[in-house]
Amino acid sequence: MGVPTRADLAGIPDYIIPGRPPGAVLLNSNESSLPPLPAVVEAVARAAAQGHRYPQWFSEDLVAWLTAELEVPESWVAIGCGSVSLCQQLIQAYCALGDEVLCAWRSFEAYPVFARVAGVHARTVALDSGHRHDLAAMADAVSPATRVVFVCNPNNPTGTAVDARELRDFVERIPDDVLVVLDEAYREFVTDPDVPDGLLLARERGNVAVLRTFSKAYGLAGIRVGYCVGSPAVVSAVNKVAVPFAVSRLAQAAAAAALAHTAEVSERCRAVAAEREHLRDRLLAAGLSVPASQANFLWLPLGDRSADFAGFCADRGVLVRCFGNEGVRVTVGVREENDVFVRAVQDYASDAGAGF
């Protein structure tokens, strides 16, 4: 008999890592289809030559780059091993036994898992009929036990976003002793001017923190670096629960180099957004229901047909992400990859007889 683990861990679902068959079109993880910029690759190679030395503890050089870009003081930025790591750190920093985390559902699946890992309760509020955060219902759901509320905007996996007025009204209803975390991992792909920049709210309110990442727009998903912007008190709390040296020397160098080429990154994001709209038009024409997205992916609310559709695509060499019996998320790839996916959609509709 081995050493027993915490009994409550048995109720936490395993994270399923799908296989990646050679030659498959990978549209299941919201990665960039394009490799990092050449300058980033060069920076990583230079940093690797110093791999025998520990990185900066608080990524001070990267913080300096970011604060210049974001126009906030250095005491307002914490660096983490991807924004997902910062989600966990915020829960650890602000929640104790008996507290709870509140989030929408379906939203980023890590939120309730991290809450349970920390030994606190996770409560969810259903999305509205448009697959968007129901912020009024979320505000109503805040209880005396609520310590952290996550708002993913644009939302993963639906790609939908709330507007500035909705978000401001929501934040104003949240008590000052509850932390509102605006997860903006896909902010760079937003084209709708009504979708707010969470940094504006973070500058105004001490109980608002913003998370962003270099994984998506910057094409550094395999390098793992993200950041949190919030008041100095929030940043101090996040840093206290960080794993020492979790952000590698290579990750810090890659992110700093990427920030030196924001114009090229922005051009890539505009291209992804344009391809997103093109792909959505093609899917609508094929008979699918596809909510408007502000991210680098699209949501197909296929219900009970989700797993069947995802399996059909996989058999044709296209990997998409299935979310139970709710829907399928498909990353916007380059045109050639999207063409392969659309052909699979058309074949599925034909095989199904009545289409979608």
pLDDT tens digits for range 17-41: 777 888 899 999 999 999 999 999 9
Q: What is the mean pLDDT of residues 162-166?
A: 97
CATH dotted code for 38-260: 3.40.640.10
pLDDT value of position 354: 58
Q: Is the dihedral of CA 306, 191, 29, 93 positive or negative?
A: negative
pLDDT value of position 195: 98
Domain-wise residue ranges, the chain? 8-35+263-352, 38-260
pLDDT grade, residue 238 (50/70/90)? very high
pLDDT value of position 220: 98
Check pLDDT > 70 for residue 2: yes
Largest CA distance in the chain: 61
CB of 216 within 8 A of CB of 185?
yes
Determine the Cα–Cα distance for residues 38 and 207; give it in Å rounded to an integer.
Answer: 39
pLDDT tens digits for range 87-133: 999 999 999 999 999 999 999 999 999 999 999 999 999 999 999 99
Length of the chain: 356
Q: Report the relative pairing of strands 179-183 and 146-152 from DSSP bridges.
A: parallel
DSSP state letters, 334-354: -HHHHHHHHHHHHHHHHHHSS
Check pLDDT > 90 for residue 315: yes
Please tell me what DSSP assigns to residue 46.
H
CB atoms within 10 A of CB 58: 16
Residues in Cβ contact with 349 at an 8 Å cutoff, skipping those fewer than 6 apart = 286, 287, 355, 356
pLDDT grade, residue 347 (50/70/90)? very high
Mean pLDDT of the chain: 96
pLDDT tens digits for range 68-85: 999 999 999 999 999 999
Of 224, 184, 215, 226, the closest CA to residue 202 belongs to: 184
Task: Give the C-alpha distances (Å, rounded to integers) separating 351 from 279, 284, 304.
Answer: 21, 18, 17
pLDDT grade, residue 1 (50/70/90)? low
CATH topology assigned to domain 8-35+263-352: Aspartate Aminotransferase, domain 1 (3.90.1150)
For the entire predicted model, the pTM comes to: 0.96
| Residue 98, burial from CB neighbour count under 10 angstroms (0-12, 13-18, 19+) | exposed
Please tell me what DSSP assigns to residue 104.
E
